[in-house]
């Protein structure tokens, strides 16, 4: 199976580098390489595209404005020199955000995520939102969830972190991963806050599995690492960590 993609970047050197990387991925078919958002918009209005690899800071029509303008939105992977656009891009449900210079390994990781999403969406059909159900059965230490093979049971403690995949979520344990037919936003509303915390637009973690917290990352058990935003870091400290830090001085 091949997936149609589009490259949008006003910088010729960056454009060529992205095209070179994408041509190494057999499952991609590059429909066009565009030098601006307006050119890309014209193609997207008439041609089915699965994945768009787009710069953000472009004249006349930015990558974000391009995404906002589309009624039928393909998966967007933003590739930009400006890391400060990350939060806004995830608010627009961009699938991934890459800071330039974009390496082949990083683009491949984002592409694999996009393909996994597209293949899963094909499996479950277009009515995913109608399949969303409460993950909890009222039990104190476990929940049930729907995945492509049926309904499964999992203990809260076994969950290490959860990653957003748009309409779906990918849940990681120490030995396995599960695709859940519920968005991360709806999972956050249903999972108990005493176990789980949102640390990023794309991630929820199980706080009992925190190994190390840095300014920009959370290192979890079993060598998992996820990014953390400044606001989520402060909230995590206040709710889950500060109360458990050993005091240097005793009263």
Please give the domain boundaries of the chain with CATH numbers for all domains: 3-124 (3.40.50.2300), 131-244 (2.40.50.1020)
- To which H or E segment does residue 232 belong? helix 230-236
The whole-model pTM stands at: 0.65
* Per-residue pLDDT tens digits for 14-60: 999 999 999 999 999 999 999 999 999 999 999 999 999 999 999 99
Q: Give residue 183's pLDDT.
A: 87
Burial class (CB in 10 A: 0-12, 13-18, 19+), 28: buried
Sheet containing 224-227: which strands, arranged edge to edge?
210-213, 217-220, 224-227
Q: Give residue 30's pLDDT.
A: 97
For residue 58, give the 3-state DSSP assignment: coil
CA 50 vs CA 67, 78, 94, 109, 127: distances in Å = 13, 14, 13, 16, 18
Alpha carbon of residue 5 to chain centroid: 18
Q: Give residue 140's pLDDT.
A: 64
Q: Give residue 249's pLDDT.
A: 67
Q: Give residue 47's pLDDT.
A: 94
Q: Give residue 148's pLDDT.
A: 64
Tell me the two tokens of residue 176: 């396995």
How does strand 3-8 pair with strand 51-54?
Answer: parallel
* Per-residue pLDDT tens digits for 48-71: 999 999 999 999 999 999 999 998
The stretches in the chain having pLDDT less than 70 are 123-140, 147-149, 247-251
Q: Give residue 131's pLDDT.
A: 40
């Amino acid at each position: 199976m091949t997936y149609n993609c589009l490259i949008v970047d006003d910088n010729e050197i960056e454009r060529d580098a992205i095209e070179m990387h994408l041509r190494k991925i057999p499952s991609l078919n590059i429909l066009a390489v565009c030098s601006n958002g307006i050119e890309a918009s014209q193609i997207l209005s008439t041609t089915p595209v699965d994945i768009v690899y787009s710069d953000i800071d472009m004249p006349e029509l930015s990558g974000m404005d391009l995404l906002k303008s589309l009624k039928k939105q393909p998966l967007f992977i933003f590739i930009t020199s400006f890391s400060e656009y990350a939060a806004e891009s995830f608010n627009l449900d961009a699938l991934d955000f890459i800071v330039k210079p974009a390496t082949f390994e990083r683009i491949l990781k984002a592409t694999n995520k996009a393909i996994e999403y597209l293949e899963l969406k094909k499996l479950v059909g277009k009515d995913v939102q109608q399949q969303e159900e409460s993950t909890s059965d009222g039990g104190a230490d476990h929940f049930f969830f729907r995945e492509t093979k049926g309904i499964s049971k999992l203990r809260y403690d076994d969950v290490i972190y959860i990653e957003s995949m748009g309409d779906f979520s990918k849940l990681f344990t120490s030995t396995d991963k599960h695709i859940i037919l519920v968005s991360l936003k709806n999972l956050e509303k249903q999972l108990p806050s005493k176990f789980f915390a949102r640390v990023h637009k794309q991630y929820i973690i199980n706080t009992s599995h925190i190994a190390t917290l840095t300014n920009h990352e959370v290192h979890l058990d079993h060598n998992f690492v996820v990014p953390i935003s400044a606001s989520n870091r402060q909230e995590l400290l206040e709710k889950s960590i500060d109360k458990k830090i050993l005091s240097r001085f005793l009263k």
